[in-house]
């Protein structure tokens, strides 16, 4: 145990929440996290908030994570149950890929061959998980995008000798995942795993700020406005059950002041606007500070009052 490093996200993921953690910390219900509690993250992605919670809250007794992306969840499960085999496959992929450094054509041939193999979905669990991590580390901007047939279609990125096998972190993540229940499916199923001292953090695919900036195709099914409404209904249900939740989403009003979509949808709850950097925009000029929404059903505590 002693030389185990602190677990951190093992993927680059669009919408990774590292930037927002300080704001989430500010509105955390301290009375809840002081007792034994269950942390539930129904749209886990790369798990930036999950790992932060696991590392910083000793009273977190159990966590439940879920995502609709089957390949992502297969990777979490592999890290939890079979980290050593995964590391040995990743080490081979890393050695082979690094040996091609300096020859872009050969790197591309290698990358596209691995992408094809991944899409054939013929590998067993750890082989498929290793390909998932390999593609994430070597593709353009760490994007995960699939077509309607669930075929991953992101081109190669331009990284020099990217880290593909981060052995220490995979071992640390594996250790941290031992108290985590890992689910694959729709967000609503997580309610079955809640107990009375549960904290939900929702980070759904963000509502696009404009048609062209749209980036929410993490999975083959789109998360459209009806889905945003279904999520709000689920949050209302949790509220009735007296369960605490925090949710983040894009601030569509910051872009168009007449757009009251979220203000109306969550009018019964506490809505905060916070500054957050997002860098999933491929155009560097368009990266920069944006406001995002942090919404919660908990009653205002001291810190919360000061923040607004
Ligand atoms: C904004 S990302 C989460 C980012 C994450 N918080 C992070 O730090 O990387 C949204 C995630 O929701 C997942 N998703 C989309 N529709 C879903 C659904 N109906 N139920 C559960 N997960 C879903 C996507 O696969 C994606 O991983």
Round to whole Å and give the CA distance between 208 and 278.
13
Per-residue pLDDT for 1 more than 50?
Answer: no
Atom of ligand 1 nearest to the CA of 13: 9
Q: Which residues line ligand 1 (CB under 6 A)?
A: 13, 15-17, 42-43, 45-46, 48, 66-69, 186-187, 203-205, 218-219, 223
How many angstroms separate the alpha carbon of residue 19 from the centre of ligand 1?
17
> What is the length of the chain?
308
Q: What is the largest CA-CA distance in the chain?
A: 59
Round to whole Å and give the CA distance between 291 and 247.
14
Round to whole Å and give the CA distance between 116 and 161.
21
How many angstroms separate the alpha carbon of residue 283 from the centre of ligand 1?
23
The ranges of the chain annotated as CATH 1.10.1020.10 are 75-168
Round to whole Å and give the CA distance between 251 and 104.
40
- Give the pLDDT band (50/70/90) at residue 286: low
Question: Which numeric CATH code is attached to 18-68+185-307?
Answer: 3.40.50.150
> Does the annotation flag 13 for ligand binding?
yes
> What angle do helix axes 104-120 and 125-138 make, rounded to 10 degrees?
140
Round to whole Å and give the CA distance between 98 and 288.
32
Q: What is the dihedral of CA 89, 90, 96, 99, to 10 degrees?
A: -150
The ranges of the chain annotated as CATH 3.40.50.150 are 18-68+185-307
Round to whole Å and give the CA distance between 302 and 300.
7
| Fold adopted by 75-168 | Adenine-specific Methyltransferase; domain 2 (1.10.1020)
Closest residue to atom 17 of ligand 1, CA basis = 68
Contacts of 204 (CB under 8 A, 6+ apart): 43, 187, 223, 227, 228, 231, 247, 249
How many angstroms separate the alpha carbon of residue 68 from the centre of ligand 1?
7
Residue with tokens 């991953």: 152
How many angstroms separate the alpha carbon of residue 257 from the centre of ligand 1?
27
Which tokens sit at 287?
A: 């990266």
Q: Quote the pLDDT of residue 240.
A: 97
CA terminus-to-terminus distance, the chain = 42
Its pTM stands at 0.90
Round to whole Å and give the CA distance between 7 and 162.
19
SS3 track for 19-65: HHHHHHHHHCCHHHHCCCEEEEECCCCCCHHHHHHHHHCCCEEEEEE
Q: What is the pLDDT of residues 289-303, one digit of tens each?
A: 579 999 999 975 544
Round to whole Å and give the CA distance between 38 and 50.
11
Q: What is the pLDDT of residues 168-206, one digit of tens each?
A: 999 999 999 999 999 999 999 999 999 999 999 999 999
Q: Quote the pLDDT of residue 19.
A: 77
- Give the pLDDT band (50/70/90) at residue 277: low
Q: What is the pLDDT of residues 127-177, one digit of tens each?
A: 999 999 999 999 999 888 999 899 999 999 999 999 999 999 999 999 999
Q: What is the pLDDT of residues 89-108, one digit of tens each?
A: 999 999 999 999 999 999 99
Closest residue to atom 7 of ligand 1, CA basis = 16
> Is residue 139 helix, strand or coil?
strand
């Amino acid at each position: 145990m002693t030389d185990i490093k602190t677990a951190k996200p093992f993927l680059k993921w669009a919408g990774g929440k590292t930037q927002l953690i300080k704001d989430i910390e500010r509105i955390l219900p301290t009375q809840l996290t002081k007792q034994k509690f269950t942390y539930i993250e129904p749209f886990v992605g790369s798990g930036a908030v999950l790992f932060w919670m696991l590392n910083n809250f000793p009273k977190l007794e159990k966590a439940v994570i879920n995502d609709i992306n089957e390949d992502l969840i297969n990777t979490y499960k592999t890290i939890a149950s079979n980290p050593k085999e995964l590391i040995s496959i990743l080490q081979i992929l890393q050695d082979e890929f690094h040996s091609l450094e300096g020859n872009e054509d050969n790197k591309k041939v290698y990358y596209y061959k691995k992408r094809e193999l991944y899409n054939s979905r013929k590998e067993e669990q750890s082989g498929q998980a290793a390909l998932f991590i390999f593609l994430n580390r070597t593709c353009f901007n760490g994007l995960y995008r699939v077509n309607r047939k669930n075929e991953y279609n992101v081109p190669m990125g331009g990284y020099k000798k990217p880290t593909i096998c981060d052995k220490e972190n995979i071992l640390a993540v594996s250790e941290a995942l031992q108290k985590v229940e890992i689910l694959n499916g729709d967000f609503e199923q997580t309610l079955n795993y809640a107990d009375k001292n549960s904290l939900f953090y929702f980070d759904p695919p963000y509502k696009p700020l404009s048609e062209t900036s749209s980036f929410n195709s993490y999975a083959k099914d789109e998360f459209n406005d009806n889905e945003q409404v279904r999520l709000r209904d689920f949050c209302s249900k949790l509220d009735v059950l007296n369960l605490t939740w925090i949710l983040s989403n894009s601030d569509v009003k910051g872009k168009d002041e007449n757009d009251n979509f979220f203000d109306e949808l969550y009018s019964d709850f506490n809505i905060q606007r916070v500054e957050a950097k997002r860098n999933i925009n491929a155009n560097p000029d368009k990266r920069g500070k944006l406001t995002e929404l942090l919404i919660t059903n908990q009653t205002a505590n001291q810190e919360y009052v000061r923040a607004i």
